[in-house]
Amino acid sequence: MKIYVEDNIIKIRKEGLFLCLDSRSYSKLWEDLYDVIKTQCGKFDIPFKIGLLNWDEELQRIPDELFILSNYISERGRFITPLVERVFPELDNKDYDLLLLSSEKIYDIEDWQDEIQSKFNKLFLMNPEDLDKKTRVQLEEQLFKTVFDFRIDKVALSMEDSICYDFSDGFEIKLKEGKFIMTKDYDDQLVDIHLKTCGVTEDAVITVSTASLTVHVNINHTKFSVNPNFSKFDDEQTILFHNTIDNYKKGEIKHYCHRCKQNHDFAKAFVCNKHNKLSPFTASEYIMFDNIETERKADSRYAIIYYKDNGIYYKVIKEPVCYLKDGEFIAVADQGNIYYIRIFDKIKMVEFQEIYDKLYYSSDGDIYILVLR
């Protein structure tokens, strides 16, 4: 597996494939297998090179430009020595797998075992002895089961002094000892990870781990053009918010509810369970703030409520990381913890306290968070 960054995208790929193709008797079968291999490499963005053994007079019959233009031709018959000496040194160690496809034994292969082992990541031999006895379908199946049988499953990204504030769905995030950790289960043969990061260092240094490999990569921070787009409570909702918070602070659980005009327990913060206009999401509860209830969708995770310029602002969020204002973020980790993150000359991560059921508060920033699901 290879992990690298291109255009600020983390890419995970299989190693390249160097196909060493022999044919004393060129056939349609050879051409078909070559096509299958080339197509698979293209599909999974696998670097592909070929070397030809023993193809002198056959080359003119091959239609593929790449094939004909290959300079990697052993002109000494079914001997791999010219490729080992002339071509393999051009490849970086372990960047390629070697696939030897030959209907008969390559005469000098034994002489180069050590060089091949140290140069290539893996060696695949397509049974030189019985290749001619197999059908095209059998050979293709063999290729899929060996060379192209690879999967990228769990991927973990970990960063210090940086956070990731924009990424694709499916990542779980965890904040641990100042580290921002993201994990995702894939079941793919090619992975591209698009990220937007910011932090105190010039770029994000990210440790990327898969089942078989851990590497460090650098991602350029993205200047965020995010409009936080918070809305303001109207006067009625502002009073409702203040009254409710004041009552909570006095320890009053029984509470006069401005929505249903009755007293009831606030089993959940800011939730009315007697309102006749029940929420379509739970059918048993209603967020007391009409605007939040209206903006709430099936995938909404939480509502941020905070004071700014003598008003109360709110936003309903589904993403685990939300840009609040300059250098300030909210991150909801998957184990349920919520963090207030401030990035200036260093990163400060403060965990929100759950002050009432489903209601979290951070005195840093004076922010309330209502968890919606």
Binding interface with Zn ion (CB under 5 A): 257, 259-260, 272, 274
Distance CA 191, CA 205 (A): 19
Q: Whole-number minimum distance, CB 264 to Zn ion, in Å?
A: 6
Q: Whole-number minimum distance, CB 266 to Zn ion, in Å?
A: 9
- Residue number with CB closer to Zn ion (28 or 254): 254
Range 118-124 contact pairs with CB under 8 angstroms and sequence separation of 24 or more: 118/93, 119/88, 119/91, 119/93, 119/94, 120/18, 120/94, 120/96, 121/15, 121/94, 121/95, 121/96, 121/97, 122/15, 122/97, 122/98, 123/97, 123/98, 124/97, 124/98, 124/99, 124/100
- Residue number with CB closer to Zn ion (272 or 322): 272
Q: Whole-number minimum distance, CB 256 to Zn ion, in Å?
A: 9
Q: Whole-number minimum distance, CB 286 to Zn ion, in Å?
A: 7
Q: Whole-number minimum distance, CB 235 to Zn ion, in Å?
A: 20
- Residue number with CB closer to Zn ion (151 or 277): 277
Distance CA 293, CA 290 (A): 5
Q: Whole-number minimum distance, CB 272 to Zn ion, in Å?
A: 3
Q: Per residue in 86-109, is it b (16+ CB within 10 Å) or e — as a string?
A: ebbeebeeeebbbbbbbbeebeeb
Show the CA angle centred on residue 338, arms to residues 332 and 343, nearest 5°: 85
How far is the CA of 75 from the CAs of 54, 71, 295, in angstroms?
6, 11, 71
Instruction: Enumerate the β-bridge partners of residue 2.
Output: 13
- H or E stretch covering 68: helix 65-69
Show the CA angle centred on residue 292, arms to residues 290 and 293, nearest 5°: 60
Task: Give me the half-sphere count of Cα atoms (radius 13 Å) on the Cβ side of residue 40.
Answer: 22
How far is the CA of 200 from the CAs of 8, 268, 326, 346, in angstroms?
18, 38, 13, 6
Write the single-letter amino acid at 144. Answer: F
* Phi, psi (deg, nearest 5) at residue 32: -65, -45
Q: Whole-number minimum distance, CB 231 to Zn ion, in Å?
A: 22
- Residue number with CB closer to Zn ion (11 or 274): 274
Q: Whole-number minimum distance, CB 308 to Zn ion, in Å?
A: 27
- Residue number with CB closer to Zn ion (259 or 296): 259
- Residue number with CB closer to Zn ion (38 or 259): 259
- Residue number with CB closer to Zn ion (113 or 263): 263
Write the single-letter amino acid at 125. Answer: L
- Residue number with CB closer to Zn ion (64 or 265): 265
Closest by CA to 338, choosing from 290, 289, 310, 305, is: 305
How far is the CA of 59 from the CAs of 6, 74, 103, in angstroms?
36, 12, 17
- Residue number with CB closer to Zn ion (118 or 262): 262
Q: Whole-number minimum distance, CB 254 to Zn ion, in Å?
A: 12
- Residue number with CB closer to Zn ion (2 or 274): 274
Q: Whole-number minimum distance, CB 348 to Zn ion, in Å?
A: 37
